[in-house]
């Protein structure tokens, strides 16, 4: 088994080993990813672990169709949902100024169909359609899904509810049939095709371009406002 396949199958193997009733959330990341648990608890807040969630705000996304784009990662324009029943005073008072080229829908759960039906501020889904074509593996595209994925180095959080959507056997069979590429891409593709889940932004940074919840950068690089301290 390749190391990339091992990286992709790890959360499903963990779930299969310890059982669904042994946890609420799974933390996914590379071998050098560090989670600060107190901050994780703040990020999860009142989210329901029984709801299917694949959480991250650090995604690879070539919005221009050019994989050499400097905005490839982390790209705040990457299509994703907001949490179910998400509430933010900046959304409520109309002062939210998201970076995304689309209006992120609330996902209950966040499915590919939810993403496809969202409102695009530009009125054009062209960038997403171009990238979505890369999800089809074939002789001319052995690395399907490579450029629309959660970044493993930044990490992701998977709910118990998400892990109920497919059996280990279904996931293993799908992953074994994929062309081997990066583990985080294989995981994201499996979530999309087998579990029927797209990625959900944890929410707080959606209206606050200065905030990156996953992989916030080097110490001092992310300037927090007073209201942000209790959320990070």
- 100 touches 124 (CB < 8 A): no
Three-state SS for 173? helix
Mean pLDDT of the chain: 80
Q: What is the pTM of this model?
A: 0.84
Token pair for 71: 């905005």
**Which residues of the chain form beta strands (DSSP E)?**
25-28, 54-55, 59-60, 102-103, 119-120, 149-150, 156-159
Q: What is the pLDDT of residues 30-78, one digit of tens each?
A: 988 999 999 899 999 889 999 999 999 998 876 655 555 555 778 777 8
207, 89 Cβ separation under 8 angstroms: no
Of 188, 195, 217, nearest in space to 205 by CA: 217
Quick: pLDDT tens for 129-178: 555 555 544 445 444 455 778 999 999 999 999 999 999 999 999 999 88
Q: Residue 168: what pLDDT?
A: 97
- The whole-number pLDDT of residue 123 equals 47
């Amino acid at each position: 088994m390749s190391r990339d396949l091992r990286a992709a199958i790890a959360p499903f193997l963990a779930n299969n080993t310890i059982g669904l009733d042994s946890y609420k959330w799974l933390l996914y990341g590379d071998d050098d990813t560090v989670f600060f648990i107190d901050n994780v608890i703040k990020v999860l807040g009142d989210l329901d672990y029984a709801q299917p969630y694949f959480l991250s705000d650090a995604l690879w996304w070539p919005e221009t169709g050019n994989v050499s784009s400097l905005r490839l990662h982390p790209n705040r324009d990457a299509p994703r949902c907001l949490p179910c029943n998400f509430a933010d005073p900046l959304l409520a008072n109309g002062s939210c100024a998201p970076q995304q080229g689309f209006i992120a829908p609330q996902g209950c759960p966040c499915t590919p169909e939810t993403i496809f039906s969202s409102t695009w501020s530009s009125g054009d889904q062209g960038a997403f359609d171009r990238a979505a074509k890369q999800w089809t593996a074939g002789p001319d595209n052995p690395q399907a899904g490579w450029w629309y994925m959660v970044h493993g180095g930044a990490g992701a959080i998977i709910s118990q509810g998400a892990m109920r959507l497919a059996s280990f056997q279904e996931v293993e069979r799908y992953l074994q049939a994929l062309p081997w590429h990066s583990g985080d891409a294989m995981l994201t593709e499996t979530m999309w095709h087998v579990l029927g889940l797209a990625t959900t932004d944890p929410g707080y940074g959606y209206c606050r371009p200065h905030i990156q919840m996953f992989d916030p950068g080097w110490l001092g690089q992310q300037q927090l406002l007073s209201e942000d301290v209790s959320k990070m």
